[in-house]
Chain A
C-alpha cells in the first residue's frame, strides 16, 4: 500500500492508463495530429474521424445522439455556456432563473453574473438530507421563469437529485432544464432519451479522463437554442468555436467508453468499500453523516467528527488525501456553504471530512483509513476544550461565546 492514500476522487481522478495510452496516439507526427476542420487532406479527415468516434462514445454513455454533444474545456465552461447561453437567447421571454444553494460555484457564480446583468435568480434551500423538494421548486416557478439549473450529484455530499421528476415539471411548464452532471456521469445511469433534460454538463477528469475537457449536451428533440459564449470559426455548430483538442476529445471518449462498460461492476465494488468505511466509522461517538445515505453516489462519504476542527484533522491525517468543509482549508475562510445549506451548524461544517473513493481504491486502504481516523480523532479530542465540555455535560449551545 502506497502512502498517502488518495481519497479525493470527487476532486479529480487519475487518468485510466488506457485513456492515457489512447491520447498519446493523437499528438505527434507519427500519430493523428491534424485539425478536424481541415477538409482538404487525410490529416484533417483522420482527426475528424477520431473526434466523431469520441462523440459517439460520450453520447452512448448517456443515451443521447452524438449530434447533441458540444465539446468544451470542462464542466465549468459547459455550465457557463448552458446557463448564460439559454438565458441570453430567451431573455425576451423572461429573466427569471431557479437554482439551488448547494450547486457548484460554476453554476452559482454564473447566476450571480446574470443577476448583475439584470436577471432575477431564486436560490432554493434543499431539505436536510440535501435533496430538493420538487413541490418547493414548483412553487418558485413564475411566468417569466426561463431556466431551472439543478445538479445531478452534489460534489460535497454526493446526494442524487431526482432529475426525472424535475424534468417532468419543467417540460410541462415550458421551462428549460439544465443539469450539471460533472459528478454523476459514469457513476449514475443517465438515459437522456427518457429524461426531460434540455442541457447537461459533463467533465472528463472526474471519470478518469483528461483535465481541461468537457462537453455540453444540447437537446435536439425538442430543439434547444442557446447563444454562443465563444466566437470564432463556428465550430460545434456555432455553439462553441475553437479548434477541437483532438487528443483531449479522444481521451474523454475513451473514459466514457470504459465507464459505460464497467460502471455497473465498479459501482458494486465502490458501494461495498463505502459501506465498509462508514461501518468502520459510524460507531465512534459524535460522528454525523452529511447528506442522504440512500440517494447517494457510491464512492462518496461525507462525515462530521464533532468537536474536532477540520484543518487540524487534515494535518493529523497526512497519510490520507481528503478534503474538508472547514473554513481553514478554503480560500474564503467560510465553512462549507453546502453543509450550511443543509442545516448543519458551523461546528459540524468545520468538522467535516469528505472521503471519495474511486477506481483504484482498495479494501486495505479503507481499513487503514478507519484505524487512522479513530486514533487521530481521539487524539485531537483529548486536546479539544469542546470535547471536554461535552463530556462534562455542558450544553455548548447555551454557552455565550466571545465571538471574534
Chain B
C-alpha cells in the first residue's frame, strides 16, 4: 500500500496515544469499529469548564490509515468547542491525509469516533445535571 508522507508521519510518530480515566466527568469516550472488521478506534476528549476541548487521546487497532486518521483527529479537536469538533467531516481527514479510496472508511470511523466521544461527554453532563437538580 502506497501511503502519503502525512500518513507515514502520523503512523511513525503518532500524536496523543494513551488513555484518560474514562469515569472522569470531564472526559468523553468514543469507541467505534469492530475487531472482526479489522479496526477499532478509541478516542477520548477532555473538556474544560468553558466547553472547550483541552486535550485528547486515542488508541487504535487497525491499519496505518486508521492509526493516522485518529492521530490527526486528536490534533484537530484540541482547542475546539464541542460544536466545532462535531463539524469535522471524514472528507476533511481523508483529504488532509490523501487517503487512497479503499481507505476512506478509516476517516469515516474517525468522524464516528469524535461524534461518539462528544455524545458520551454530553450524556455524562446531563446525567450529573440531573443529579444536581435532585
Contacts and interface: CB of A to CB of B under 8 A. Distances in A.
A328 B1 contact: yes
Interface stretch (B37-45, B72-80, B117-125): B37-45
Contact of A386 (B11, B61, B105): B61
Given A333-B102, A404-B108, A385 B59 contact: yes
A285 to B, nearest CB: 16
A309 B1 CA distance: 15
A357 B105 CA distance: 35
Interface in B38-80: 38-42, 59-64, 66-67
Interface in A320-335: 326-329, 333, 335
A135 interface: no
Contacts of A315: 3, 11, 63-64
Contacts, number: 86
Interface in A260-305: none
A404 B32 contact: yes
Interface in B89-117: 102, 105, 108-109, 112
Contact of A396 (B35, B39, B59, B108): B35
Contact of B59 (A311, A383, A401, A404): A383
Interface string A34-52: 0000000000000000000
B34 A327 contact: no
A328 B61 contact: no
Contacts of A139: none
B36 interface: yes
A385 B61 contact: yes
B17 A403 contact: no
Contacts of A401: 33-36, 40
A96 B119 CA distance: 56
A193 interface: no
Contacts of B85: none
A63 B79 CA distance: 74
Given A383-B59, A388-B59, A404-B32, A312 B37 contact: no
Choose among A311, A388, A396 the residue with the greatest number of B CB atoms under 10 Å from its CB. Answer: A311
Given A328-B1, A402-B32, A404-B108, A382 B38 contact: no
A309 B63 contact: yes
Contact of B38 (A307, A335, A388): A335
B27 interface: no
A384 B41 CA distance: 8
A384 B11 contact: no
Contacts of B59: 383-385, 388
Interface string B4-41: 00000001001001010000000000011111111111
Contacts of B11: 312, 315
A306 to B, nearest CB: 10
15 contacts: A308-B61, A311-B63, A312-B62, A335-B38, A346-B35, A347-B35, A382-B17, A385-B31, A385-B40, A385-B60, A386-B35, A386-B40, A388-B19, A403-B37, A404-B109
Interface of B: 1, 3, 11, 14, 17, 19, 31-42, 59-64, 66-67, 102, 105, 108-109, 112
Interface of A: 307-312, 315, 326-329, 333, 335, 345-347, 350, 382-388, 396, 401-404
Listed from nearest, the 3 A-B pairs whose CB atoms lie closest are A401-B34, A346-B36, A385-B42
